[in-house]
Amino acid sequence: MSYCLNPDCQNPQNPAKTKSCQSCGTRLLLAERYRSIKLIGAGGFGRTFIAEDEYKPSKPRCVVKQFYPSSQGTSNPDKAAELFQQEAVRLDELGKHPQIPELFAHFEQDNRLYIVQEFIDGQNLAQELAETGAFREAQIRSILSNLLPVLELIHKEKVIHRDLKPENIIRRRSDDRLVLVDFGAAKYANSAALAKTGTTIGSAGYAAPEQSFGKAVFASDIYSLGVTCIHLLTNMEPFNLYDPLESEFMWRDYLVDNPVSEELAGVLNKMIQSSVKQRYQSAIELMPALDLSAGASNGNSAVPTPPSPSPAKATPQPPVEIASPSTIPANVPKNITLSGHSDTVISVAFSPDGETLASGSGLWDKTIKLWDVRTGRENLILKGHSDGVRSVAFSPEGQIIASGSADKTIKLWDVHTGEELRTFKGHSDAVFSVAFSPNGQIIASGGGSIDKTIKLWDVHTGQELRTLIGHTDSIYFVAFSPDGQTLASGSGFWDKSIKLWDVATGWQKTSLKGHSDGVRSGAFSPDGQIIASAGSTGDKTIKLWDVSTGQVIRSLGGRRSGHSQWISSVTFSPDGQTLASSSGDKTLKLWDVGTGKELQTLKEHSDEIFSVAFSPDGQTLATGSKDKTIKIWQVPQ
């Protein structure tokens, strides 16, 4: 189906692949590549369409925004045109962020202006509210945790969104992350602009009082986000919640069947204060307040205070949270929780002496933290990556840490000083995995879906030794065999294989195939005779492979047992008798390698677990989670 872009067309529906409208003759392809297929919105400034990009073989969907204010009788078409141009500029500056739509194109055709941007597949929060009913406290905390870093980013770039409301927040179907859309009302707020009265823009009921007088400030977005939250909690429109005689929102009167904690109520009430001075001034000011209100009793994660600005000895931390023995069932080991990261803990690794734990975190954090395992104290923060840290590994002697990042680089760090020693550049996409060879002379790294390569690097010179080519998707793990002669690698959905490579020559020895989805993680047994591999969402199994024959010894878990979601990480105990696995189902499982029997399931994290590591003595496990914490577990005997 092709939809005509002429606002005056009486019959805009056309057959697919038609070049010109059969009713009015208007060209149906924008910029010779974008074909509109469905009208999804219209307003005073123009219309919005779902379109297909016919320039690409897969014809991916995108969103086309068409600007034509005069035909709709807009009172100030020049100002409307300026705002439309500004939206393109704002998207171009901000759209590289994964929670803001990316700008694809901005052009004029047939005397109309067009913006083409990324299509976000999902429901907006207004649709979600209509479908599921009033939100609970945990959902509101999750929304704030998800969106406050986005607000902090756009405010840092001197942009005020000015139209925050449920309709402009989309929950992306692929990863459940919230995406902030519609920057048509956004304002660039330098000091001169903030001092000047501007155009009144925003959605009635959600716009802050000062915004109604054309004086929007960064705190205006905080107000609108707060009103959005009370709307979602009460399932009542803001106009119905506001008492003009009292000049305040009486939202808690509508929570008889859905109460919230006093802590969260206090945060929301401060967000929606009519007086700008009594409101939170910024997202970064609100973050610690939300963190303090996230009591241990409700189990909800919150946005922690951002880490210190430079690599240095950490300031004294409060005592780590140690679970009370009286609350732990006899068959569950006691654990310690380490908090301090401000995003998902994607990777963890023990030092060879077992005294230090390294952890790498995602986009909003970008740091590696070093922890004292015995005390739970944070020793060092390593900063230098410009995107999330996907993998960390200690050198065999424990003096160096390697980190692989979504910024396409690998960095080496001095464990004792936190000094950045070297940066390896060569991958054309994110680096998902890094590993040291047993002699510490080589680093292996695996690239993302654009790259699809494994690179071997000389640790001391920083030179690229060779590139291993053969996978057809992202390389999610690389692991050296104990003798250092073989490298194993596992790849994503379009590949589904584990490959074994000869380190000396770079030749592929064999390809192990048996998973029905991507291979998220893998590890050699201590004797080098077995490889364990973990399947992704559509597989959910762990396979044990005989290295010499390439045959599956046994599969652990599956549809009726094991993990209920994708398996993020697997690791062998130092004696090779136990396998630990972590999963998106928030659990850590222990398996008997000899029998394949599940020994134990440990549940303490409040969100998906991304990584697991055994200590060198085999008595301790560490896990990193989307709940932004690390847990250190005593391995049950």
- CA nearest 294: which of 604, 588, 606, 583? 606
Place of tokens 């067309």: 9
- Alpha carbon distance 345, 16 (integer Å): 46
The region that residue 247 occupies, defined by phi over 0 for left and psi between -120 and 50 for alpha, beta otherwise, is: left
**C-alpha distance from residue 28 to each of 108, 270, 429, 583 (Å):** 14, 50, 35, 47
Q: Which helix (H) or strand (E) holds 130?
A: helix 125-132
Q: Are strands 112-118 and 587-592 parallel, antiparallel or unpaired?
A: unpaired
Of the listed 163, 407, 473, 495, which one is catalytic? 163
Residue 257 falls in the annotated catalytic set: no
**Secondary structure of residue 572 in the 3-state scheme:** strand
- Alpha carbon distance 608, 570 (integer Å): 14
- Alpha carbon distance 456, 183 (integer Å): 43
Residue 105 pairs in a beta bridge with: 116
- The torsion defined by the Cα of 160, 161, 166 and 168, in degrees rounded to 10, comes to -160
Q: Side by side, which strands form the sheet with 122-124? A: 122-124, 169-172, 178-180
Token pair belonging to 261: 């904690």
**Secondary structure of residue 140 in the 3-state scheme:** helix
Helices (H), 157-208: 191-195
Q: Are strands 442-447 and 431-436 parallel, antiparallel or unpaired?
A: antiparallel
| CA–CA–CA angle 56, 60, 65 (5° rounding) | 110
Residue 422 CB neighbour total at 10 angstroms: 16
Burial of 236-270, coded b for 16+ CB within 10 Å and e otherwise, reads bebeebbeeeeeebebbebeeeeebbebbbebbbb
Q: What is the CA radius of gyration of the chain?
A: 27
- Alpha carbon distance 266, 268 (integer Å): 6
Q: Give residue 44's identity as a one-letter amino acid code.
A: G
Q: Which residues contact 505 (CB under 8 A, 6 or more apart)?
A: none
Q: What is the DSSP string of 316-366?
A: PPPPPEE--GGGS-TTS--EEEEE--SS-EEEEEE-TTSSEEEEEE-TTT-
Place of tokens 């890094």: 434
Quick check: 533 and 521 in contact, CB under 8 A? Answer: yes
**C-alpha distance from residue 490 to each of 1, 224, 404, 577 (Å):** 41, 45, 16, 23
Q: Which helix (H) or strand (E) holds 123?
A: strand 122-124
Quick check: 530 and 517 in contact, CB under 8 A? Answer: no
- Give the residue numbers annotated as catalytic, written as ranges: 163
